[in-house]
Amino acid sequence: MYKTIFIAFISLCGNHPVSAQRNDLGQKEQELILIHKKLTGARSGEFDSLNYYSDLFTEKLQNLLSSDKKTLKYSFKALTEAHICYVKTSKDGTFRIYSWDSQLGGTMHFFNVIYQYRNGKTMKTQSMELGEGDPAWYCSDLFTLKTKKTTYYLAVINGIYSSKDVSQSIKAFELNNAGVNDSVLLMKTPEGMKNSLDLAYDFFSVYEQPERPIPVITYDSKKKIITVSTTNDKGEIVPGSKSYRFNGIYFELSQVKTQ
């Protein structure tokens, strides 16, 4: 009798709307993975096929994110574990960044980026606008910075321009009625107020470090301090760093460590 009740309970759970929704998203996620397999397979074939599957992957992902508000909380674990797409979500669950390699580049990698966010009870998506020839970046971490007036989001982003030349930045975002503001000026530097702190460097100077991407810019969310590594004239990472502390309004230089 108890076995019968248990089986019936499992059956009901399997037919629950939430379970069905998750299964539906899981199926669509697998469809994206299949398209991506065809995309990577096309790299050794015709360029037209490469463009087709790259555009198809972008279209399918964008349509899914735009049409289903449940995706903002869905993990996309299969996509991320297969290293197909970076999916980074803010701690408050309001803002998410999807970024992936379009596979259309060579040693210079070209990425696509979609922002997804909640505005009240409404979920919205916004594609990052790219200029011609802009390789864009992928997001490897996303932090939430709450102030008395607003909430900022700090994204660690990475560019790959050749097997040697790479970059890492920490970029500020905020959400407003117009959408995602990716130009908010939150970093005070000797050159003036900026939207990001950036470091271009020689990958081979630190390639032995096991982390990927290599953390040459870090953020301490408790102390609200950004630490940027130092490079020499050749772009090689050397001992030393600059630290920027949030003063309640913006990040400003607070400490310089030399080798």
pLDDT digits (tens, 9 = 90+) for 30-40: 999 999 999 99
Report the predicted TM-score, pTM, of the whole model to 2 decimal places: 0.90
Q: Does residue 7 carry a pLDDT above 60? A: no
Angle, CA 219 vertex, CA 198 and CA 240 arms, to 5°: 65
Residues 6+ apart with CB under 8 A from 229: 199, 201, 216, 217, 237, 240, 241
Q: How far apart are CA 92 and CA 118, in angstroms?
A: 10
pLDDT at res. 5: 44
Q: How far apart are CA 186 and CA 118, in angstroms?
A: 22
- What letter does residue 82 receive in the DSSP assignment? T
**Confidence class of residue 228 from pLDDT cuts 50, 70 and 90?**
very high
Q: Which amino acid is at 172?
A: A
Q: How far apart are CA 14 and CA 62, in angstroms?
A: 28
Q: Does residue 8 carry a pLDDT above 90? A: no
Q: What is the CA radius of gyration of the chain?
A: 21
The average confidence (pLDDT) of the chain is 92
For 93, the token pair is 């669950």
Mean pLDDT within 88-98: 97
Mean pLDDT within 116-145: 94
pLDDT at res. 43: 83
Q: Which amino acid is at 114?
A: I
Strand segments (E) across the chain: 86-89, 95-101, 111-119, 122-127, 138-146, 151-160, 165-176, 179-181, 187-189, 192-194, 196-202, 217-220, 225-231, 237-246, 251-257
Mean pLDDT within 203-225: 96
Q: Which helix or strand (DSSP H or E) is residue 4 part of?
A: helix 2-14
pLDDT at res. 135: 97
Q: Does residue 211 carry a pLDDT above 70? A: yes
**Confidence class of residue 20 from pLDDT cuts 50, 70 and 90?**
low
* Peptide bond just before 213 cis, omega within 30 deg: yes
pLDDT at res. 121: 86
* 196-202/192-194 β-pairing: unpaired
How far CA 248 is from CA of 182, 183, 217, in Å, comes to 19, 18, 21
Compute φ and ψ for 203, nearest 5 degrees: -60, -35
Please state the domain extents for the chain.
Answer: 1-84, 86-259
Q: How far apart are CA 138 and CA 207, in angstroms?
A: 18
Compute φ and ψ for 23, nearest 5 degrees: -65, -40
Specify the length of the chain in residues.
259
